[in-house]
Structure 1
């Protein structure tokens, strides 16, 4: 089994031996980890329910958590999802990895396709599944929008999209999502959209694959599913609360599979997660922070503000040398795009996570600006 080196490990290797400018505190803009702190009300609920550590948690999620996620989906998308169409998960890294392993297990010569650049867990799942991998290249020439040839559509078993996209921050319109649902039905592959950045947007909420499915009359979500989590939405990556919603014919078997994996979210975290899924005020506050940061980026770097996400996908030419120079001269870390893709996808770009309070982002972007060609 040959798993690739994680992008952050590649960066550590590249930066090893470089002494950053000691005049500045280090600012790490590489990882999509919100730095605003977990909301206090979520922390308080977690603290007040530690007595529930004395019992085994439900792998399928307790009733409070299930109800809160269904309520979130109803409020956000105006969709009534049945409990049978929902599987709560231990964050979404888990489902990104073990769902492809489950789904592809019985396929003859399985093929997995996903957007490129990509979250490395997608590729890891393909490697462990011994699947053929098709990289759906996202680049300037196609406006960072995904397409597959007819030949690839005919042989793929599972497609993972990720919109709003990490790292490019591109979104797909409702029509584009509807087109992908039609393709999944026509060519009989399973389609997942990783929607973990769906709640980080500027003005207009991006559409969901669930809505697109309903729009074309696929009311049972045949061949499709979406995943989401609290990590970005609620600035709580440590709470490990996520879900997959979609085709219950597939999810019934996946739920059974998960009982053997042993990845249950602890009961106090389930209770705290339920409170987070049920509240929107804290999410609006975080969106305001990100919007302020993008306004600064627009002013300082003269960029076009993306419609969603919290990443800048910035062209710099030599992405690796840019990252090394910025770390040495300004003590700022950014992630080279070439570490996130294959077939030269991402080359020349850097990913910049605008996940700090505005005063830190303003300082970082101002110091960074003089190195951008």
Structure 2
């Protein structure tokens, strides 16, 4: 077996299961799950209809890079959504079976332990590959880096830096070893969003050190006011229409409430995607044709996405009005999570708080420390809890009532 498997951390939900193993939930209440970021809104019926109408096409092998119709639909969506001049459907878009799988395999394809001088885009890099990522983070970034035998480097996202991470504080010698930088905007779990200035700094940094800049934008359509600026949009604003060393990941899971469809895409630098496609051809990941046709229907429609946003807006408004002051809630810029600082009455301890929510209110939340790693003696997720507003409005009202009772007890 791969010896690097032993270095992988248990997944956050496995840690939660261990924490609550000896706990008894409040059986007087029905269970409310706010710990896992799985959308619970109804998927668009017309997408399911397309899927069902084309099940007979499962008798055909799909191609790794998907149909031209799907790639073209995604290219047009990117152009509309991010004000891009032109996206080449043949070279700059690659459909994937969900971004979780794509992010993991992308790291395996990118990390290089034996670069020659000709392969280096800068003379600063050496043979100690580093993958930089935010902290807290989506654990796939870390696991993929470890299994690619790269070194994860964590940039703490704290209140002091608006939960976006201070990339200016990363030492030169770390950037000199960096081959890949992950950004999550809107961020999971903090809900922070990168600005144009933030993007420009990182793009210039990529130019200096030659690393690939990968933006996980799976929550980009769950905003409240203005649509978040994406990495490719920042590139276009800077006149970098080739998207050099820049790629983005998008998915229908959160945008269209279709997590089980396993449909997303990676887009950006054509030269990077060309090599990644070669890797995927050997990997054998290809989206089934019925899923591709259903995905086309989803990407072409914005009405259901607006309705989805409205539902989340309703729930966030409700939570802020009812618990904003009592629980000290901070409204995120986008996404569907609250990143909640644990109240003092629970010793500011995220494990104590999530156990109390479970034992006294039968509410599942996620301890923030399980989404983070300790850096310089500090875990930036410790003392925070992630609450996912994925339940219905009715369940949200019930959860609010129980939490209010818990806080006042």
TM-score, structure 1 as length reference: 0.97
- The structural deviation recorded for 1:159 is 0.4
- The structural deviation recorded for 1:370 is 4.4
Query: Residues of 2 paired with 1:248 and 1:11: CA distance?
Result: 41
State the match for 2:130 in structure 1.
111
Contact (CA 8 Å) 2:64, 2:285: kept in 1 or not?
A: yes
**Deviating more after overlay: 280-289 vs 78-87:** 78-87
Residues 1:125 and 2:151 aligned together:
no
State the match for 2:349 in structure 1.
318
Which of the numbers 123, 147, 168 marks the counterpart of 2:190? Answer: 168
Residues 1:93 and 2:91 aligned together:
no
Contact (CA 8 Å) 1:178, 1:215: kept in 2 or not?
A: no
- Structure 2: which 5+ runs fail to align? 115-126, 343-347
Size of the aligned set, in residue pairs, is: 373
Residues 1:135 and 2:154 aligned together:
yes
State the match for 1:102 in structure 2.
109
State the match for 1:204 in structure 2.
226
The Cα offsets for residues 67-104 of structure 1, whole Å up to 9 and x where unpaired, read as 21112112211212112011111110011101011100
Which of the numbers 64, 78, 82 marks the counterpart of 2:88? Answer: 82
- The structural deviation recorded for 1:186 is 1.6
Which of the numbers 244, 248, 252 marks the counterpart of 1:226? Answer: 248
Which of the numbers 279, 282, 286 marks the counterpart of 1:260? Answer: 282
State the match for 2:367 in structure 1.
336
Query: Residues of 2 paired with 1:120 and 1:217: CA distance?
Result: 33
**Deviating more after overlay: 359-368 vs 338-347:** 359-368
Query: Residues of 2 paired with 1:370 and 1:145: CA distance?
Result: 33
Query: Residues of 2 paired with 1:62 and 1:352: CA distance?
Result: 38
Which of the numbers 18, 26, 46 marks the counterpart of 2:23? Answer: 18
Query: Residues of 2 paired with 1:267 and 1:219: CA distance?
Result: 30
1:306 is paired with a residue whose SS is coil
The Cα offsets for residues 144-174 of structure 1, whole Å up to 9 and x where unpaired, read as 1221333322221110010100000001111
Contact (CA 8 Å) 2:64, 2:286: kept in 1 or not?
A: yes
Which of the numbers 182, 203, 210 marks the counterpart of 2:204? Answer: 182
State the match for 1:243 in structure 2.
265
2:307 is paired with a residue whose SS is helix
- The structural deviation recorded for 1:217 is 2.4
Which of the numbers 309, 315, 325 marks the counterpart of 1:293? Answer: 315
TM-score, structure 2 as length reference: 0.89
Contact (CA 8 Å) 1:160, 1:191: kept in 2 or not?
A: yes
State the match for 2:124 in structure 1.
none
Query: Residues of 2 paired with 1:114 and 1:102: CA distance?
Result: 17
Query: Residues of 1 paired with 2:94 and 2:311: CA distance?
Result: 31
2:287 is paired with a residue whose SS is coil
- The structural deviation recorded for 1:237 is 0.4
State the match for 1:153 in structure 2.
175
2:154 is paired with a residue whose SS is strand
2:205 is paired with a residue whose SS is helix
Query: Residues of 2 paired with 1:15 and 1:296: CA distance?
Result: 28
- Structure 1: which 5+ runs fail to align? none
**Deviating more after overlay: 58-67 vs 257-266:** 58-67
1:184 is paired with a residue whose SS is helix
Contact (CA 8 Å) 1:178, 1:209: kept in 2 or not?
A: no
The residue correspondences of 1:347-366 to structure 2 (distance < 5 A) are 347-366=382-401
| Bigger Cα Rg | 2
Which of the numbers 65, 82, 102 marks the counterpart of 1:60? Answer: 65
CA RMSD of aligned residues (A): 1.3
Query: Residues of 2 paired with 1:236 and 1:106: CA distance?
Result: 37
Runs of 4+ deviating beyond 3 Å: 369-373
Which of the numbers 6, 13, 26 marks the counterpart of 1:8? Answer: 13
**Deviating more after overlay: 54-63 vs 144-153:** 144-153
- The structural deviation recorded for 1:372 is 5.1
Contact (CA 8 Å) 1:322, 1:371: kept in 2 or not?
A: no
Residues 1:307 and 2:307 aligned together:
no
